[in-house]
Amino acid sequence: MVIRYHCKHCETEIGSLPFESAESVVSLIQRLENDSHQYDDKEQFLIIGEGGEMTVRCICEQCEKSLQQFPTYYALKKWLQ
């Protein structure tokens, strides 16, 4: 089993991490999710599927560059078509 990293904007798979080495990563992401409860627009960083597979939603380099170049995109829920 692995933890997969996907871009939350373009859905590109960024990479994966073997599950055996991922315990500290999972606890860190769960802490981030718990901390995000204080915000109105809570985002889900960690998605656990029915079979136990895990997906971390983050931002790929291309989307990060686009957001830096066009910061108004941050206001949009979905800016890629």
Q: What are the tens digits of pLDDT across the range 56-66?
A: 888 999 999 99
Comparison of pLDDT for 52 and 54, the residue scoring more: 54
Q: Which residues pair with 16 in a beta bridge?
A: 4
Q: Distance (Å, rounded) from C-alpha 14 to C-alpha 24?
A: 19
CA distances from 10 to 42, 53, 55, 58, 61 (A): 19, 20, 14, 10, 11
Mean pLDDT of the chain: 78
Cα–Cα distance measured from residue 9 to residue 35, given in angstroms and rounded to the nearest whole number: 22
Span 16-36, pLDDT tens digits? 887 665 566 667 667 766 765
Higher pLDDT pick, 39 / 13: 13
Structure tokens at 55: 């997906």
Q: Is the pLDDT of residue 37 over 60?
A: no
Helix (H) or strand (E) holding 13: strand 13-18
pTM passes above 0.75: no
